């Protein structure tokens, strides 16, 4: 319930800012996730493989200058991994779902009237909303597992390109790297789990009234 409260609060904040923003966006992508696990002694006792699932996001963007922007987004991600223990005896797999929000800054380092290349600095929080772990043939609900029920802070730098389809709509293709870890730990020597992600997104960017991001250099 606390995670849902945070997400709803962030949604209202983004909606309020978006009402004055210059662009809104929607995107979908494929996220490849690697789990990094260490036990309480600091040993990496599992041999884990990445899995690929879907990622979704909606957001807004406000322009500071012609090529500098700030904004935020709400997102939903599905993460997964599978592998075996170091003795090749037990098989493991995870499938987890997170929802969250992030703030971001974009810089169009190359921009013409129709095309731009950008880099993005972004960070935010994601909250566990469901998932399971399978150990051999046993399935475990992860809702009460400490490593998953804490919020994850994520750093997500990105790079991408936009191509204008009209004066008010642009196609966006981007790559996003992510590093996420649980916020806080009860004990310094507790088990540690963090994620690294690689995401390819496609989406659309729409300009709102009186703002022509594409084909117009005068805001």
Q: What is the pLDDT of residues 92-113, one digit of tens each?
A: 898 999 999 999 999 999 998 8
Count the neighbouring beta carbons within 10 Å of the beta carbon of residue 159.
13
| Gap between the Cα atoms of 25 and 169, Å rounded | 10
Tell me, what's the pLDDT at 216? 54
- Residues in the chain with pLDDT values less than 50: 1-20, 186-187, 189, 217-219
Tell me, what's the pLDDT at 18? 45
Tell me, what's the pLDDT at 19? 45
Per-residue pLDDT reduced to its tens digit, 5-41: 444 444 444 444 444 458 899 999 999 999 887 766 6
Tell me, what's the pLDDT at 194? 85
The reply to whether the predicted model has a pTM over 0.75 is yes
Task: Answer for the pair 29, 54: CB distance below 8 angstroms, yes or no.
Answer: yes
| Gap between the Cα atoms of 138 and 153, Å rounded | 29
Alpha carbon distances (Å) from 180 to 36, 124, 128, 146, 148: 10, 9, 12, 15, 11
């Amino acid at each position: 319930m606390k995670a849902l409260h945070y997400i709803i609060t962030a949604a209202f904040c983004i909606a309020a800012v978006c009402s004055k923003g210059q662009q809104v966006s929607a995107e979908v992508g494929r996220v490849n996730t690697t789990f990094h696990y260490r036990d309480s002694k600091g040993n990496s006792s599992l041999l884990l493989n990445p899995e690929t699932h879907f990622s979704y996001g909606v957001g807004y963007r406000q322009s500071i200058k012609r090529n500098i922007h700030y904004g935020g987004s709400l997102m939903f991600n599905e993460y997964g991994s599978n592998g075996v223990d170091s003795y090749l005896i037990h098989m493991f797999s995870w499938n987890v779902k997170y929802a969250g929000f992030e703030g971001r800054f974009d810089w169009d380092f190359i921009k013409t009237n129709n095309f731009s290349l950008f880099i993005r600095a972004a960070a935010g929080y994601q909250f566990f909303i469901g998932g399971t772990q399978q150990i051999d043939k046993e399935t475990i609900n992860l809702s009460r597992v400490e490593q998953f029920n804490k919020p994850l802070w994520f750093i997500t730098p990105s790079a991408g390109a936009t191509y204008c389809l009209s004066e008010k709509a642009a196609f966006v293709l981007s790559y996003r790297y992510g590093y996420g870890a649980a916020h806080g730990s009860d004990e310094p020597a507790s088990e540690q789990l963090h994620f690294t992600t690689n995401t390819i997104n496609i989406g659309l960017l729409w300009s709102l009234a009186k703002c022509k991001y594409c084909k117009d250099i005068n805001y």
